[in-house]
Chains A and B, each alone.
Chain A
Amino acid sequence: MLEVQDIDVSYGHAKALHNVSVNLQRGEMVFVVGRNGAGKTTLLRTIAGFLQPTQGSITLEGQSLLGLRPDQVARLGLRFVAQDKKVFSHLTVRDNLELAAHASGEKLETAVERLLGLYPKFEKFMDSKAGGLSGGQREILLIGRALVGEPGVLLVDEPTEGLAAIVIADIFRILSEMKERISTIIVEQNLSVVGRLADRIYIMKEGKIEQEITDPAEITDASQLECYL
Chain B
Amino acid sequence: MDRVRKLKLVLWTIFGLAFAVAVTRFAVGLGATTNLNDGYGWGFWIGFDVMGGVALAAGGFVITAIVYIFRKEEFHGIVKPAVLTAFLGYVAVIVGLLFDLGLPWNIWHMIIFWNPHSPLFEVGWCVMLYTTVLLLEFSPVPLEPFSAWAKIRAFLIKFRMLFVVLGISLSTLHQSSLGSLFLIMPHRLHPLWYTPILPILFFVSAVMLGFYMVCWESLFTTHMYRREKEASLLGKLLGVARWVMLLYLIIRFGDLAVRGQLGYLTEGGYYTNLFWTEVLVMAIIPFILTLIPRVVKSTAGQWFIASFGVFGVVLNRTDVGGLAHQIGGGVHYAPAWSEYVVSAGVVSLAGLIFMFFVEHFKVWEHRPADPHADPETLPEFDSASQVSLGTPHIAARSTFSLAFIIAMGVGFMLLAGEKVTSKGIDPTPVHAARGDQDTLWIDGNLDGYGVAFPHKVHETNNGGPESCVKCHHMNLPLDKQSVCAECHYDMYIAVDAFKHDWHASPDGGNVQCVKCHNEGVPRSADTASLKEGVYDCSACHNDLFPAGATIVVEQYDALGYAQAMHTLCIDCHVDTASARALAALKYNQEEPAGSDAGMDAGAKDYSQAELIAYNDEHFKVLTKCSVCHTGEIRETVQLTDTQKALGGTVTACPVLPPQELKK
Asked if A and B are interacting partners, one says no
